[in-house]
Each structure stands twice: as structure tokens, then as C-alpha cells.
Homo-oligomer: A and B are copies of this chain.
Amino acid sequence: MTKEQEFLAYLKEIALISESVGLLEWDSQTGMPAKGNEHRAEVSSYLSGKAFEMMTGQKMTDFMTYFTENPSELSEFGAAVFAETKEGYDLNKNIPAERYQAFSKVQSMAHSAWVAAREAKDFSLFEKSLGELIEFTKEFIPLWQKDEKTPYDVLLNQYEPGMTVEIIDEVFSQVRDGIMALRAEIAEKGTEPQTDFLNRFVSKEQQREFVTQVVTELGYDFSRGRLDDTVHPFMLNLNRNDARITTRWAENDFAMATFGVIHEAGHGMYEQNVDAKFDYTPLAGGVSMGIHESQSLFNEIIVGSSKSFWQKQYGTLQKITGETFADVDFETFYKGLKQTKASLVRIEADSLTYPLHIIIRYEIEKMIFNGEAKLADLPAIWNAKYEEYLGVRPENDLEGILQDVHWSGASFGYFPSYALGYMYAAQLHHAMAKDLDVEEILGSEDYSKIREWSTEHIHQYGSSRKPNRLIMDATGENLNPQYLLDYMKKIYFEAYNIN
């Protein structure tokens, strides 16, 4: 066995353990008996501990040292795997074990504090824990830092490699101003679409039948995936041949699960189409949160906003639901789907207002890590920004700053990827439209060319190419938020009858 083969075999062991941790997690969130909780926590933490130990322990250190000193012993493939592995390794090698342990402890207490604060709708109950998490993060930032310019850049980089405050400041301000302008125009000139039919009863079985058919047509492969019920929908890939999606259903709001499943299927299709050669290495699996969202959002907001797509699919929905929508003509149906309305809660937002929710979080996170805000003032800052950008004001902290779980897990720098996904999706669509007649395909019986384009330009590479490289190669330019604004204008102006 060469040293490279030894290294790959070791990474495979880690991948196999991680896959079993993945299944334990999927099971916990889909169907584990309620009282299995405590035993499950023991198994999961033991195995993820094992994997972590293998990723950071002596044996890994030896591999890192060896190949740093003997890079010529690596094949091209091995070098790519090594580089990705080393990035992950370097990220945590400077964090003292006992500090990381202390941090984990605070993290788990912070989650309980967040839950309690939500119940009381009172941010002050979460404030202390949040403060501790921020302090730990500030302590770790210099240890994580490579060549990032600001502390917050270090955090961004963990979720979206290569992304910087400088870039995001620019694109987010463009997106924010653009969306606010669109919203103003819609409010002034638009005709509100009819939406009451969206709350008609569609049984879970009917919804499942419909959306299963839709995502199968889009290219989600059920022989390499499955759809389960859960409370907080997610996609989880055990491997490229087992990328599972989940949803929750509301029988008086079929659009929720419909768009939810279409979204998760986009994540699943990404994973299902990564090149097999990356199996059992850190290059298997999507490269970043932002690129992953670009694929789920391509499904949800590009395909899911397409008129010709719905022209065909509305027929299917009608067939499955009998007389439910018999009195709703297609134009009415389609426009109803694209209603836009400011909401207080991010996960209930429509696709036009969604990026504003993200931008608010981004601006607050930057304030936190630049030391520009006192913790106690955050709820007021939050509420003021919602008023300013969206014209709505939370009545309490549950509707406001306590709504997201992310900060209770110290996932600072994570939110921006959601908005990046929107922009990437629109930019990719624009590039795709140079090669394919996307609307015509979405009106046809066979969508495969669309999935194939995405596989060719994005999916297949797994984590072997960084986000900026992928976007540049696929679209011929760097991140450009104008495509998102253009697409939204087209879609929403049509829905609101603005010429």
C-alpha cells in the first residue's frame, strides 16, 4: 500500500462512520420512538466523537505532516483530497481541546436557554448564553484565521469559502435596494392576486402523490432517495446513492409542502449527481451552503416560478385533486402562487422578500463582531430593521430575534449563504438560458436537459471546486445579483399585472 492509499483508506473509515452518524440523525428526525432519545444521544455522540478524533488526532496529524513534506507522492486526485482534508484539519488544529469542550457545553446550554426564552418571548433570557457563544467565537476567530481581512470574514469563509464582507456588502446593498424598489412599485401599481384557493383542503396523500411526481420529473431519483415526514424539513445525504429528503405537510396549505419538497429535491439532486470518483473522500458532497442553496432554490424559485412549468403541472394537480380547483383557471392559480407579502418570520417569507430577512441578520451579525452593538440592544435593532426594510414590526421577541435556531448553535456567518443561493440560482439560470430554451423545456414532458446542465456545471464536481470557480466557469462572471433582481421583476410584475 502506498502512503496515498493508506491515507485514502483512513479517510474512507471516517466517511463510513460519518455515514452511520448521518443515518442516526435522519432516523432521530423522522421516526425514532420518542423515548429512544437518551440512548440515541449516546450512540451519536460516541460515533461523531470517534470521527472527530480521527479527523484531528495523531494519525491525521502524521498524514498532514507527511504530505506537506512529500507532496510529490500524491497523485493529482490525492493532492485534491489532501488539500480539502487539510483545510478542515487546519481549521480546528489550533483550538485547545479543553476550550472546545467548554464551548460545546455552553452551546448545549444555549440551546435550552433559547427554547426557554422563546417560551417566555423574552430575549433577555437568552442574552447571557448568546453573549458567551459570541465570546467563544471571538476567541476562536484568530485561531481559525488564515488570510481573511476581518473577523467576520473568517466566519463567512467557513460556510462559503472565498466569500468576503467586501463582496457581500456590495451585493447585499444592491439586492436590498433593488427589492425595496420592486416592492414599492408593486405596492403602487400592482393588482393583488387572488389567493383564497391556496387554503383549500388537499389531503396529505394527494399532495404526496403530486409532489412525488413533480420532483421525479425534475430529476430527483427515488431509487437513490426517499421522502419522509419531519418537523423541520431537510435533505440528508448518506452517500450519492442515498440522498434523503423530508417535508412537513399542511392540508390547508398545499403550497408549503409542494415548494418545500421541490426545494429539498434540489439539494438531493445535487448530491445524487456528484461524480462517483469522490466517494468516501471529503470531496464527495456539495461544496458549500451557498452552492447547495443555489440548487435547491433553482428548483424552488426558478423552476417553481416558471409559468410554462406550472401550465403543465397544474393539470397534474387538478387530476389528482378532483374538483378541488375546478373553478380556478390557470392564470389565477399561477398568479396566486406568486403573491408577495411582508412577513415577520423568515421561513414563511415569499421569494421576493426572503433576501431582506437574510440581509437584516447579516447586518446584525457584522455589528456584533465589529463590536458595534450591545447585546441588550439587539431586539430593538432587529425590530427597527424589520420596520425599515419590510414595513412590519415584531410584537415580541419570538416573532423577532428569537425566531431562528442558528445563533443558539453559534452558527454565525451562516445566514448569508441563503441569500447567496438566491443570487447564484438566478445567475445560473441566466447562463443556462444561453444554452437551453429553459421555458420551452419546462413546458415539455422531459426536463432532463435542465438537470443535465446543472450536473455538468455544478453537481459533478462535489467539493472539488470552490464556489467562486464554479460560478465563474458556469456563468462566465463573478457573483452578480442583477440576475436575481431581473428575474424577480419579471415574475412578480407579471403576477401583479404590471407592464
Q: Out of B17, B47, B241, B280, name the residue touching A36 (CB < 8 Å).
A: B241
Q: Does A42 contact B (CB under 8 A)?
A: yes
Give A46 to B221 CA distance when docked, in angstroms: 27
Question: A226: which B residues are within 8 A, CB to CB?
Answer: 31, 33
Name the interface residues of A29-43: CB closer than 8 Å to any CB of B: 31-40, 42-43
Name the interface residues of A1-28: CB closer than 8 Å to any CB of B: 13, 16-17, 19-20, 23-24, 27
Q: How far is the CB of A193 from chain B (nearest CB, A)?
A: 38
Do the beta carbons of B23 and A242 come within 8 Å of each other? no
A interface, how many residues as a size bin? 35 or more
Question: Known: A27-B27, A38-B241, A241-B38. Is A20-B43 also a contact (CB below 8 A)?
Answer: yes
Name the interface residues of A43-91: CB closer than 8 Å to any CB of B: 43, 46-47
How does the 8 Å CB contact mask read for A223-238 relative to B, with 1 for contact and 0 for none?
A: 1111000000000001
Do the beta carbons of A19 and B33 come within 8 Å of each other? no
Q: Chain A binding site: helix, strand, loop or mixed by DSSP?
A: helix
Give A238 to B241 CA distance when docked, in angstroms: 25
Question: Known: A13-B46, A46-B13. Is A224-B23 also a contact (CB below 8 A)?
Answer: no
Question: A280: which B residues are within 8 A, CB to CB?
Answer: 42
Q: Out of B19, B33, B34, name the residue touching A43 (CB < 8 Å).
A: B19
Question: A278: which B residues are within 8 A, CB to CB?
Answer: none
Q: Out of B13, B33, B47, B223, name the residue touching A20 (CB < 8 Å).
A: B47
Q: Which 10 A-B pairs have the closest CB atoms?
A: A36-B242, A39-B239, A16-B46, A35-B241, A35-B224, A20-B20, A16-B43, A34-B223, A35-B223, A36-B241
20 new A-B contacts, CB < 8 A, other than A17-B47, A32-B242, are A16-B42, A16-B47, A20-B23, A20-B43, A23-B23, A23-B27, A27-B27, A31-B226, A33-B226, A33-B241, A34-B224, A35-B241, A36-B224, A36-B238, A36-B239, A36-B242, A38-B241, A39-B238, A39-B241, A42-B280
* A interface with B by C-beta (< 8 Å): 13, 16-17, 19-20, 23-24, 27, 31-40, 42-43, 46-47, 221-226, 238-239, 241-242, 244, 279-280
19 A-B residue pairs with CB within 8 Å = A16-B47, A20-B20, A20-B43, A23-B23, A23-B24, A23-B27, A27-B27, A31-B226, A33-B222, A33-B225, A33-B226, A33-B244, A35-B221, A35-B223, A35-B242, A36-B224, A36-B242, A38-B241, A39-B241
